[in-house]
Homo-oligomer: A and B are copies of this chain.
Amino acid sequence: MSEDHEAPMINGVEHETGKEEEVLPFEEDDYGGVIVEMKTPMDPKCFIATLRYSFTQWRLQGKKGVWLNLPLTHVNLVEPAVKEGFRYHHAEPTYLMLVYWIPKADSTIPLNASHRVRVGAVVLNPNNEILVVQEKYGTLRGLDVWKIPTGVVDVGEEIFTAAIREVKEETGIDTEFLEILAFCQTHKSFFAKSDLFFICLLRPTSFDIQKQDSEIEAAQWMRFEDSASQPITHKNGLFKEIHRICSMKMEKSYTGFSTKSITTFFDDKLGHLYLNKQEMSNHIS
């Protein structure tokens, strides 16, 4: 960046010179990079001077990636940061993360989140009825199509928890998670991002429907054969597969993935593994 600083002589000289001797507060990451989170407001000029001085230090220390987290309240520093060579990495409603790669070698900055994750909930009751809804919005609105409850997995939420939550929200029905029957990946589903849709099998533990008014037009228990014989089930690949898998499941000739809590390899983080557990327990026993 600039080792050749021409310090202003009058008007705040002392202040800026002072800042130039300070490095922005940062933390180190595990990959030779630094993370700067701007917590206190800063004047853009002062920010640039401090940033430039920080870069001279980080270069000397052989640092690689520089992450810069600018909260929404520090939006005045976005333009200066980009002009100093930062690029956007990702953003959430309250902050923008920028990044700068120092070495001449190719960047190993990890990619941004690439997928949205959704769930569809298959809830079958002991009378061979399936829980279905009609939505107020979306492409199937007004087409008299009955579909399984669906929704988006929240940040930090487990897939099976999301399925239970969506069913409760849309229909008032309580459920227990049994299996992931299948999942589907599509691309460019949401801006440039991809979509992973997990079809979850749930067992109902309550039966009285209380539908949500904001998003759901109607909800009911429907005879499974009636749901399977809707014209859309024959026309649409995913609808058809869901019903086909369900009928095999009802005949007990299909096994999906159920869950097991584990620790993962890299950092002993707790996670959930989804695997063919039924065969596994057969194997073990």
Residues of A within 8 A of B (CB): 30-31, 72, 75-76, 78-79, 82-83, 87-97, 106, 108, 110-117, 137-140, 147, 152-156, 158-159, 181-194, 196-197, 214, 232, 236-239, 241, 244-245, 248, 251, 253-257, 260, 262-276, 279-280, 282-283
Instruction: Report whether B139 and A30 are in contact in the complex, using a CB–CB cutoff of 8 Å.
Output: yes
If over half of A's interface residues share one DSSP class (helix, strand or loop), that class is named, otherwise mixed; here it is mixed
In the complex, chain B residues whose CB is within 8 Å of the CB of A78:
75, 78-79
Quick one: which of B89, B192, B255, B275 contacts A182, CB cutoff 8 A?
B275
How far is the CB of A154 from the nearest CB of chain B, in Å? 7
Instruction: Report whether A147 and B265 are in contact in the complex, using a CB–CB cutoff of 8 Å.
Output: yes
A279 to B256, CA, bound (A): 10
Instruction: Report whether A283 and B185 are in contact in the complex, using a CB–CB cutoff of 8 Å.
Output: no
How far is the CB of A161 from the nearest CB of chain B, in Å? 10
In the complex, chain B residues whose CB is within 8 Å of the CB of A138:
266
How far is the CB of A246 from the nearest CB of chain B, in Å? 12
Instruction: Report whether A91 and B82 are in contact in the complex, using a CB–CB cutoff of 8 Å.
Output: no
